[in-house]
C-alpha cells in the first residue's frame, strides 16, 4: 500500500469514536462532506409504499450521462446499517450509472439503532420486489438483466435479499454484485474464525472494534446475530442463488468472510466469481480513486455485467498477468430481468470542462497511487483451501 495512504488510514483508525454514542455526529459529518454532484446528472426521486411496513421507502434513480445500456442496478449502500444514505452515496451511484451505462436505483432504507434489524432489510426486500416488476413493465425496451449490488453492509443486505427471494419462492434477480460484504456476526479479534479480522483490524480505517459496534447497534440481541438474515454465511442452504460477483479488498477486516461467502456459494453449485483488489482498504468504493482500485473494480464489474472474458471451466483461482480479467469461483446458473421509469426529474445533465483545480487535485491524488502492474488478482490454491478451513472452523464454533 502507498505510504501516504497507509499513514492516512492509521490516523483514521486511531480516532476515538464511540459509534454507539456518536453515530448521529458521524452521519452529520458525512452529509457535510458529501459534494453536490446533482447538477451534473439526471436524477429522479421516488417513494415506494410498503403495505407490510406501512411507510414510504425513498428511492433515488440515476440515469447515465453516457449512452444507456439495457439492464438495471439496484444498489444498497454501506455504512454498517447505521450511517450512510442516498444523499451521501449520490456521487457513488452517479459514477456507477456512468461507468456501467445502466440505470441505478439507490434505496434509502431505515437505519439502526432507531430502526434495528430487520427494518432496513425489509425495506430493501420490498424495494427489490417492486422495482423488478416496475422496470420490466414500464421500461421493457431497456429491461435487460436486473442486478443487486451493494457495498459492505449494503452487500450484506443484497446477499440476504437474494436468499429471502429464493426462500419465499419469488422471482429471482439475474445477478448480484457483493463489494467487500459483511457476512458473519462475530468480529472479536479473539473469537472470530477469520484471520483478516486480526491482521487488518486495527490500522486500515475500518477497525474490527468498529465493525462489532455497528453489529451491536443493528442487532442488539447477541443470539439473533447468528440469524442467517443477519449473517448470511450462517445459512444452511446456499443453492439457487443468482450469478454472483464478490469483490474483496486486501486490507479489510471483512476480507476473509466475504471470500468465504463466495466459496460457500460456489460449493452449492452457483456460478460465482471472486476478485481481490490489491493495495486498497475497506470503503475504497466511495473514495476518490487515489489507488486505481475503483477503475479496476469497474473493469471487473463490467466484464461481469456484460458476460465478457468468462470461461466455463474457471474456478476460484488463476493468475493475473497482463490485462486485468475477472475470474474465479465458477459454476452455473442464470436468469432474466426487470425494472423502472416515470419519476420526477431532480436535475438535468450538465457537462463541464475540466478545470485547473481539477488538474491540481488529480496531481495531488496521484501521490497516493501505488505504482503496480497488477491491481487485483484471483486467489491461489492455498488461499482457496484456507477458505474451506475458515468455514469448517466457523461451523465448529457455532455448534
Contact 64, 73 (CB under 8 A): no
The whole-number pLDDT of residue 335 equals 35
SS3 category, 63: strand
pLDDT at 354: 40
Residue 350: per-residue pLDDT = 41
Residue 8 is predicted with a pLDDT of 78
Q: For the chain, give the longest Cα–Cα distance.
A: 60
The domain limits of the chain are 3-397
pLDDT, position 361: 54
pLDDT of residue 365: 53
- A 10 A CB-CB count for 355 gives 9
pLDDT in tens, the chain (399 residues): 777 777 778 888 888 888 999 999 999 999 999 999 988 899 999 999 999 889 999 999 999 998 999 999 999 999 999 999 999 999 999 999 999 999 999 999 999 999 999 999 999 999 999 999 888 887 777 889 999 999 999 999 999 999 999 999 999 999 999 999 999 999 999 999 999 999 999 988 999 999 999 999 999 999 999 999 999 999 999 999 999 999 999 999 999 999 999 999 999 999 999 999 999 999 999 988 877 899 999 999 999 999 886 544 344 533 333 333 333 444 333 333 333 333 444 444 344 444 455 555 555 455 555 444 578 888 887 887 788 877 777 777 776
Report the sign of the C-alpha dihedral through residues 346, 349, 355, 359, in that order: positive
Pairing state between β 55-63 and 103-107? antiparallel
Q: What is the pLDDT of residues 133-190, one digit of tens each?
A: 888 887 777 889 999 999 999 999 999 999 999 999 999 999 999 999 999 999 999 9
The rounded distance, in Å, linking the Cα atoms of 102 and 68 is 6
Which residues, 6+ apart, have CB-to-CB distance to 245 below 8 Å? 175, 176, 177, 178, 272, 273, 274, 275, 300, 301, 304, 326
Give, for 125, the enclosing helix (H) or strand (E).
helix 119-138
Cis peptide before 118 (omega within 30 of 0): yes
**Residue written as grid cell 452521519:** 27
| Residue of 279, 303, 274, 300 whose CA lies nearest to 289 | 279
- CATH number at 3-397: 3.40.50.1820
The pLDDT value recorded for residue 363 is: 53
Residue 296, CA distances (Å) to 118, 167, 332, 363 in order: 33, 34, 25, 19
* pLDDT > 90 in the chain, percent: 65
Euclidean distance between CA atoms 220 and 69, whole angstroms: 42
pLDDT tens digit sequence for 272-316: 999 999 999 999 999 888 778 999 999 999 999 998 865 443 445
The residues annotated with a catalytic role in the active site are 152, 252, 282
- Cell for 358? 481539477
Residue 170: the pLDDT is 96
Amino acid at each position: 500500500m502507498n505510504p501516504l495512504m497507509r499513514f492516512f488510514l492509521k490516523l483514521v483508525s486511531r480516532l476515538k469514536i464511540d459509534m454507539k454514542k456518536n453515530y448521529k455526529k458521524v452521519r452529520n459529518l458525512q452529509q457535510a462532506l458529501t459534494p453536490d454532484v446533482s447538477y451534473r446528472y439526471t436524477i429522479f426521486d421516488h417513494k415506494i409504499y410498503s403495505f407490510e411496513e406501512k411507510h414510504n421507502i425513498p428511492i433515488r434513480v440515476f440515469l447515465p450521462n453516457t449512452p444507456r445500456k439495457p439492464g438495471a442496478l439496484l444498489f444498497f449502500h454501506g455504512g454498517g446499517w447505521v450511517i450512510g444514505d442516498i444523499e451521501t452515496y449520490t456521487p457513488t451511484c452517479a459514477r456507477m450509472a456512468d461507468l456501467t451505462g445502466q440505470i441505478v436505483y439507490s434505496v434509502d432504507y431505515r437505519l439502526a439503532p432507531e430502526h434495528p434489524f430487520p427494518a432496513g432489510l425489509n425495506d430493501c426486500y420490498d424495494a427489490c420486489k417492486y422495482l423488478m416488476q416496475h422496470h420490466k413493465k414500464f421500461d421493457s425496451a431497456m429491461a435487460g438483466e436486473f442486478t443487486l449490488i451493494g457495498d459492505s453492509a449494503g452487500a450484506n443486505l443484497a446477499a440476504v435479499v437474494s436468499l429471502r427471494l429464493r426462500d419465499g419462492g419469488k422471482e429471482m434477480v439475474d445477478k448480484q454484485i457483493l463489494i467487500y460484504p459483511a457476512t458473519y456476526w462475530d468480529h472479536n479479534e479473539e473469537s472470530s474464525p477469520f484471520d483478516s479480522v486480526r491482521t487488518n483490524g486495527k490500522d486500515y480505517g475500518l477497525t474490527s472494534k468498529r465493525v462489532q459496534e455497528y453489529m451491536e447497534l443493528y442487532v442488539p440481541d447477541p443470539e439473533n446475530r447468528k440469524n442467517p438474515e443477519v449473517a448470511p454465511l450462517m445459512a444452511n442452504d446456499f443453492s439457487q442463488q443468482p450469478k454472483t460477483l464478490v469483490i474483496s479488498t486486501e486490507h479489510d477486516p471483512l476480507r476473509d468472510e466475504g471470500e468465504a461467502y463466495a466459496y460457500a456459494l460456489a460449493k452449492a453449485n452457483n456460478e460465482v466469481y471472486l476478485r481481490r483488489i490489491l493495495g486498497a482498504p475497506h470503503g475504497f468504493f466511495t473514495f476518490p480513486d487515489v489507488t486505481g482500485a475503483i477503475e479496476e473494480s469497474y473493469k471487473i464489474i463490467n466484464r461481469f455485467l456484460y458476460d465478457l472474458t468468462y470461461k466455463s471451466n474457471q474456478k476460484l483461482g488463476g493468475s493475473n498477468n497482463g490485462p486485468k480479467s475477472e475470474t474465479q469461483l465458477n459454476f452455473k446458473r442464470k436468469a432474466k430481468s426487470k425494472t423502472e421509469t416515470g419519476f420526477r426529474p431532480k436535475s438535468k445533465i450538465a457537462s463541464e470542462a475540466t478545470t485547473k483545480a481539477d488538474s491540481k487535485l488529480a496531481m495531488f491524488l496521484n501521490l497516493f497511487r501505488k505504482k503496480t502492474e497488477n491491481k487485483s488478482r484471483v486467489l491461489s490454491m492455498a488461499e482457496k483451501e484456507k477458505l474451506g478451513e475458515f468455514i469448517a472452523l466457523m461451523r465448529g464454533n457455532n455448534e
